Amino acid sequence: MSGGDKPAPALLSVVMPAYRLAATIAANIRRVDDTLSSVGIEHEIVPVDDGSGDGTAEAISATAADFAAAGRAETIRPVLLRENGGKGDALRAGLRASRGDLVLLLDGDLDLAPEMTTAFLDTMQQEKADIVIGSKRHPKSIIDYPLSRRIASRVYYGIVQLLTGLPVTDTQVGMKLFRREALQFAFDRMLVKRFAFDVELLSIAHNAGYKIAEAPVKMEFGSKFGALSLGNVKSVLTDTLAIFYRLRLMRYYQHVKLADMSDPPPKVSIVIACPGDSAYLREALQGIATQTFPPFETIILPDEPIQLEPSASVRIIPTGKVRPAEKRNLGIAEAKGDIVAFLDDDAVPEPQWLAKAVRHFSRPEVGATGGPAVTPDSDSRLARLGGDVYASPLVSGPARFRYIPERFRSVDDLPSCNLLVRTSLLREIGGYSTRYWPGEDTILCLEIVKRGKEIVYDPFAIVRHHRRPLFGPHLRQVGRYALHRGFFARRFPKTSLRLSYMVPSLFVLGVIFGGAAAARFPVLRIPYLGVLAFYAAATLISVFHRNLADWLLAWLGVVLTHLWYGVRFMWGLLFGRMPKEVRAFDHGGEGAQA
């Protein structure tokens, strides 16, 4: 480049998360485009519909089509999410779809004027900053902001300063400019998706040494006033305290082990054991088709032949009516990939599932990896409540990470609905034990750990797993799991003889014998009732819902889960041998497994 040449201007990607903005999103996209075009900023706009379901996706698609018809197809890069996953998920999806060296995060409702973008770019250049955030407290900001929100903002700012030490005067303004490297670094490590998303994002970046500066904004708060509710306040404070715990006490963000994809990347064989064709299976296949890291092949193992759309990468191998472990072992024998990814027929992988999970295999000490199986928003009301029961910290305890995204960690037990294992290691072990179902995945993971291999839990390797509804189907599944866990506590104590698995049984014994003692000795009645009252309060809090009926149903689900798990665990613990297993899937409805 000659001395008089100027570097090409950096492409600016404007990521606009949108939720239920069908009436305004098209005009807002055009306003952003007109604003940036008028000042000569090279840009692309990435509107992200966060599963609105109100016509927002259609409005975005129509706007993109209009731009394409005008010969500007690359200007609008729409991202349409199936389900509402929160602001964090929407922004991550937008970042993946974007191409710019600079990324502007801008709320899709445009309560923040996009005309201030030039001020953000100037601030980044003048202060040599990696991140520029909008601040309502900047002396040049122009804001129309309700008094109640001003008070809440100042209180929250004080809490954030106390807990995180961020060198900024505001964290919550929905207009932020990033150098791509800084944003990607933070996104790869953060866990919050909704309420305290901005605080975690900035805390991670600042803690890693990225420089943050502030710029003025022009704000018209409009109808957002209704967003301030008791439930939201509780969620914000809970998430913020969790960030403080990870940042200051655990120093978690500093120690996250992130691996890059190996070069060349490994081939992945997805194995799905199922009884037959179903709407759930086809939904899972649609999820596989959206993977940003495509699998080498998908092996489907039904009882009988099924008809699907022809595909060179999908193989259907009928197995007869056998148990899941036997099906998966056949899949292992047939797999041509370096990695076998086990997926249930009713588990729908997120687009980044394989990309996030497979990267860990670049570390030779890693033998397996997996992630959470979260409950889909599309499930029925009672099924979603069943998922809430599993996600309660008082039900799943240390294993809660299986149902909601938590921190990166090494584990010793992951379920087969979301589990990836080196093919060579599976064949060395001999695949799954066919003596037990469920529970064969616990034995497999134990064998992996025995061989000195690490099992990595990645909170971003997500599948959405359909749940069994309360109460009958949910409790039947809980009882089966408890029966086997109780037996495994004797047979495989290294991973199953743990206090967390025994607590429900201790609770059942306490209720029975404590009640008998209180009936016999009146002096014990008040302490006994006090303990029960404390238990009721703790379990109620653990499954808080704004809807009273849902709250009570979820609470009852927790109580019955504790009681039934406790009884069945003791039953399994007392068995010399397990009863003969049924040689079939126990599906709740159309292919539903949890």
The candidate with the shortest Cα–Cα distance to 189, out of 487, 498, 406, 423, is: 406
Least confident of 63-77, 148-162, 254-268: 148-162
pLDDT of the residue at 498: 84
The candidate with the shortest Cα–Cα distance to 372, out of 434, 298, 457, is: 457
**For 362-376, what is the mean pLDDT?**
95
Q: Which residues of 157-170 are buried (b: 16+ CB within 10 A; e: fewer)?
A: beebeebbebebeb
pLDDT confidence band for 4 (50 / 70 / 90):
very low
pLDDT of the residue at 585: 46
The candidate with the shortest Cα–Cα distance to 131, out of 46, 17, 43, 210, is: 210
Least confident of 179-183, 263-267, 310-314, 328-332: 310-314
Q: What percent of the chain has pLDDT over 90?
A: 66
Higher-scoring residue by pLDDT: 533, 434: 533
Q: Is 315:304 a contact under the CB 8 Å cutoff? A: no
A 10 A CB-CB count for 550 gives 17
Q: Is 191:405 a contact under the CB 8 Å cutoff? A: yes
- Whole-structure pTM over 0.85, yes or no? no
Q: Token pair of 480, please?
A: 């089966």
CB-based contacts of 184: which residues, under 8 Å, 6+ apart? 95
**For 549-564, what is the mean pLDDT?**
96
Q: Is 326:319 a contact under the CB 8 Å cutoff? A: yes
Q: How far apart are CA 22 and CA 105, in angstroms?
A: 19
Res. 212: pLDDT tops 60: yes
Q: How far apart are CA 542 and CA 546, in angstroms?
A: 13
The candidate with the shortest Cα–Cα distance to 370, out of 412, 315, 338, is: 412
SS3 392: coil
On average, the pLDDT of the chain sits at: 88
Count Cβ atoms within 10 A of the Cβ of residue 498 and give its class: 0-12 exposed, 13-18 middle, 19 or more buried: middle
**In terms of DSSP H, where are the helices of 127-196?**
147-164, 180-187
Residue ranges of domains in the chain, CATH in brackets: 12-255 (3.90.550.10), 268-470 (3.90.550.10), 486-574 (no CATH)
A 10 A CB-CB count for 223 gives 8
Secondary structure of 528-541 as H, E, C letters: HHHHHHHHHHHHHH
Q: How far apart are CA 331 and CA 313, in angstroms?
A: 14
Q: How far apart are CA 579 and CA 572, in angstroms?
A: 10
In 33-85, beta strands by DSSP E = 43-50, 79-81
Q: Token pair of 31, please?
A: 């306003």
Res. 3: pLDDT tops 60: no
Q: Strands 314-316 and 297-301, how do they pair?
A: parallel
Q: Is 471:384 a contact under the CB 8 Å cutoff? A: no
Cα distances (Å, whole numbers) of residue 267 to 122, 369, 433, 441, 504: 45, 15, 25, 22, 42
Least confident of 94-98, 120-124, 213-217, 494-498: 494-498
For helices 472-491 and 381-391, angle between their N-to-C axes, nearest 10 degrees:
30
Most confident of 57-71, 243-257, 439-453: 57-71
Q: How far apart are CA 362 and CA 158, in angstroms?
A: 42
pLDDT confidence band for 19 (50 / 70 / 90):
very high
Q: Is 84:50 a contact under the CB 8 Å cutoff? A: yes
The candidate with the shortest Cα–Cα distance to 501, out of 490, 512, 488, 485, is: 485
SS3 422: strand
Q: Is 65:95 a contact under the CB 8 Å cutoff? A: no
Q: Strands 454-457 and 366-370, how do they pair?
A: parallel
pLDDT of the residue at 566: 95
Q: How far apart are CA 280 and CA 415, in angstroms?
A: 18
The candidate with the shortest Cα–Cα distance to 360, out of 443, 420, 289, 282, is: 420
**In terms of DSSP H, where are the helices of 340-462?**
353-358, 381-391, 393-396, 423-429, 440-450
**For 12-16, what is the mean pLDDT?**
97
Angle at alpha carbon of residue 585, lines to 581 and 588, rounded to 5°: 120
Q: Token pair of 540, please?
A: 């109620």
**491: amino acid identity, one letter:** R
Least confident of 34-43, 165-174, 381-390, 394-403: 165-174
Res. 296: pLDDT tops 80: yes
**For 424-435, what is the mean pLDDT?**
93
**18: amino acid identity, one letter:** A
Res. 369: pLDDT tops 50: yes
Least confident of 186-200, 338-352, 415-429, 574-588: 574-588
**For 386-408, what is the mean pLDDT?**
92
Count Cβ atoms within 10 A of the Cβ of residue 225 and give its class: 0-12 exposed, 13-18 middle, 19 or more buried: exposed
pLDDT confidence band for 1 (50 / 70 / 90):
very low
pLDDT of the residue at 7: 43
pLDDT of the residue at 557: 97
SS3 141: coil
**184: amino acid identity, one letter:** Q
Res. 241: pLDDT tops 50: yes
The candidate with the shortest Cα–Cα distance to 220, out of 147, 133, 107, 143, is: 143
The candidate with the shortest Cα–Cα distance to 558, out of 573, 532, 533, 536, is: 536
Least confident of 237-251, 362-376, 402-416, 579-593: 579-593
Q: Backbone phi, then psi, for 212, in 5-degree steps? A: -115, 130
Task: Render pLDDT for 316-348 as a digit per residue (tens, 0 to 9).
Answer: 999 999 989 999 999 999 999 999 999 999 999
Angle at alpha carbon of residue 557, lines to 553 and 558, rounded to 5°: 120
Element (DSSP H or E) covering residue 419: strand 418-422
pLDDT confidence band for 222 (50 / 70 / 90):
low
Q: Backbone phi, then psi, for 112, in 5-degree steps? A: -110, 125
Count Cβ atoms within 10 A of the Cβ of residue 206 and give its class: 0-12 exposed, 13-18 middle, 19 or more buried: buried
Task: Render pLDDT for 442-469 as a digit per residue (tens, 0 to 9).
Answer: 889 999 999 999 999 999 899 999 999 9
Q: How far apart are CA 201 and CA 135, in angstroms?
A: 16
